[in-house]
Amino acid sequence: MRLLALVLVLLIAAVQWPLWAGKGGWMRVWELDQQLKAQRRANDALRVRNAALEAEVRDLKNGFEAIEERARSELGMIAQDEVFFQLLEPGPPSSAPKR
């Protein structure tokens, strides 16, 4: 009787093994689920970035204010009849010996 029970337990374990550890088993499904969640998070971040870029392109196509702002901030341009003032903050004292 014990031998029969042992054989049945081994048989059940042999049948269950592919379900848990085999190709396409629960462990592989769990791994793929984790990869899917990570990819969805990455896609959401990229979707937000794309929306911001789309809004910027729309602003650049429709209005001169966005173009002017970008020219001022990135290219350092000033409008006609404007005076440019640049304020420099004092840097750290140099440790080079004076001559």
Highest mean pLDDT among 29-43, 47-61, 81-95: 29-43
Structure tokens at 73: 């901030």
Confidence (pLDDT) at 98: 63
Which residue would you say has higher pLDDT here, 47 or 89? 47
pTM comes to 0.50
Mean pLDDT score across all residues of the chain: 85
Mean pLDDT computed over 4-29? 82
Which residue would you say has higher pLDDT here, 55 or 73? 55
